[in-house]
């Protein structure tokens, strides 16, 4: 998990993210007096299996990433 985060966020932020994840798990274990279950913490790591976007959402997402979207038929910028 650290290596995945390091690629996206950088080493220092990845260390903080992993430390926070561990601290959260420890806090829940101690406060609820329960046994550690790795399944509870892995569930949030996986992206949704099927993600659908509307055309407007897709265009907004691409614009936020710096893409310029052109309409092929009219040639205008969307």
Q: Is residue 26 part of a domain?
A: yes
Q: Is residue 3 part of a domain?
A: yes
Q: Is residue 48 part of a domain?
A: yes
Helix axes 2-9, 11-32, angle to 10 degrees: 130
Q: Is residue 44 part of a domain?
A: yes
67 is written with which tokens?
Answer: 């893409």
Q: Is residue 15 part of a domain?
A: yes
How many domains, the chain?
1
Residue 12 binned pLDDT confidence (cut-offs 50, 70, 90): very high
Position 16 pLDDT exceeds 80: yes
Residue-wise pLDDT for 28-74, tens only, equals 889 988 887 777 666 656 666 777 888 888 888 888 989 988 888 88
> What confidence score (pLDDT) does residue 39 get?
74
Q: Is residue 25 part of a domain?
A: yes
- The answer to pTM > 0.75 is no
**How wide is the angle at C-alpha 16 spanned by C-alphas 15 and 19, nearest 5°?**
85
Q: Is residue 72 part of a domain?
A: no
Q: Is residue 55 part of a domain?
A: yes
- What range does the domain containing 25 cover? 1-65
CA distance 60 to 65: 9
Q: Contact 18/25 with Cβ under 8 angstroms?
A: no
């Amino acid at each position: 998990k650290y290596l995945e985060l390091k690629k996206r966020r950088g080493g220092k932020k990845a260390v903080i993210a992993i430390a926070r994840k561990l601290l959260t798990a420890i806090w829940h274990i101690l406060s609820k007096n329960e046994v550690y279950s790795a399944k509870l913490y892995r569930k949030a790591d996986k992206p949704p299996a099927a993600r659908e976007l509307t055309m407007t959402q897709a265009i907004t997402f691409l614009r936020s990433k710096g893409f310029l979207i052109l309409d092929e038929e009219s040639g205008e910028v969307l």
